[in-house]
Amino acid sequence: MKKYPPFVIIAHWLTVILLVVNVYMGFKLEDLAESQGLTEATFGNFRTHALVGMLILLITLARMYVKRKHKDELPQLQYYGETHKKIVNLVHALMYLMLILIPITGLINVYQSGVFGVCFGKPFPENAALSETWHEIHEFLVKILLVLVAAHVAGVFMYIAKTKENILKRMCLLAK
Ligand code: HEM
Ligand code: HEM
């Protein structure tokens, strides 16, 4: 069975794990932002979430690069038809787009709050405040990603049920 390149496989599952961690951490952060705001005491929590988010962004960009480099060797699906092909490609493309836009919107929010310099040794600024608009956009994009992931996972199992081809093996390092 033709498989995805090892880097793509590792990146896929590492992204899944990091996303679970960061979505959970993000909603905890939202509560913290509402109760205490972005202060010197809560800054560490925001920084951890931001670092995990930036790691997801880096892995995504590297994965896109590796996929592009190996584009002629990637495994192909037996599409049910043109519409199925378009939907699969659209869902994949939108998931990539969200994995890029979510960290960027989070980064903009943190940057505009004025605390960015703290990472480079500057003192914590007075009146640091997160933006309601960027918070809303960040959250909206996360919700879109969660819907896309649900559609993706359902699509994978429906494909396996219909074609009897276990495509999970193509995303697995050890399977033959
Ligand atoms: C793929 C990566 C990321 C995921 C899945 C993610 C997810 C979330 C979620 C679910 C929330 C709670 C909803 C909300 O308040 O918007 C949140 C909040 C937040 N995230 Fe992220 N995030 C990611 C990356 C980042 C990055 C890279 C940064 C900053 C550099 C960041 C900064 C923030 C901030 C500041 C909040 C709190 C906003 C507020 O409640 O006012 N996020 N994130
Ligand atoms: C956080 C959630 C997830 C994201 C963002 C995601 C994203 C993607 C993307 C973009 C692809 C296309 C190949 C690539 O570009 O690397 C893919 C392929 C795949 N994903 Fe996921 N995925 C997620 C979760 C899952 C889960 C939970 C499963 C388990 C059922 C799964 C199973 C697969 C399989 C089997 C393929 C290969 C399909 C094929 O052979 O063409 N994914 N995933």
Spell out the per-residue pLDDT of the chain, length 176, in tens.
Answer: 899 999 999 999 999 999 999 999 999 999 999 999 999 999 999 999 999 999 999 999 999 999 999 999 999 999 999 999 999 999 999 999 999 999 999 999 999 999 988 988 899 998 899 999 999 999 999 999 999 999 999 999 999 999 999 999 999 998 77
* CATH code of the domain covering residue 64: 1.20.950
Looking at the CA of 56, name the nearest ligand. Answer: 1
Q: Which residues contact 110 (CB under 8 A, 6 or more apart)?
A: 46, 50, 116, 130
CB 65 within 8 A of CB 18: no
Residue 151 forms part of a structural domain: yes
Residue 176 forms part of a structural domain: no
Residue 78 forms part of a structural domain: yes
Residue 167 forms part of a structural domain: yes
166: left (phi over 0), alpha (psi -120 to 50) or beta: beta
Query: For a pocket test of ligand 1, which of 43, 49, 147 has the largest count of ligand atoms closer than 8 A to its C-beta?
Result: 49
Residue 164 forms part of a structural domain: yes
Residue 100 forms part of a structural domain: yes
pTM for this prediction:
0.95
- Give yes or no for residue 148 CB within 6 A of ligand 2: no
* Full residue range of the structural domain in which residue 147 is found: 6-171
Residue 87 forms part of a structural domain: yes
Number of domains comprising the chain: 1
- Give yes or no for residue 100 CB within 6 A of ligand 2: no
Cα–Cα distances in Å, from 101 out to 2, 43, 121, 137, 152? 31, 22, 27, 10, 19
Rounded to an integer, what distance in angstroms lies between the CA atom of residue 117 and that of residue 86?
Answer: 44
- Give yes or no for residue 151 CB within 6 A of ligand 2: no
Residue 1 forms part of a structural domain: no
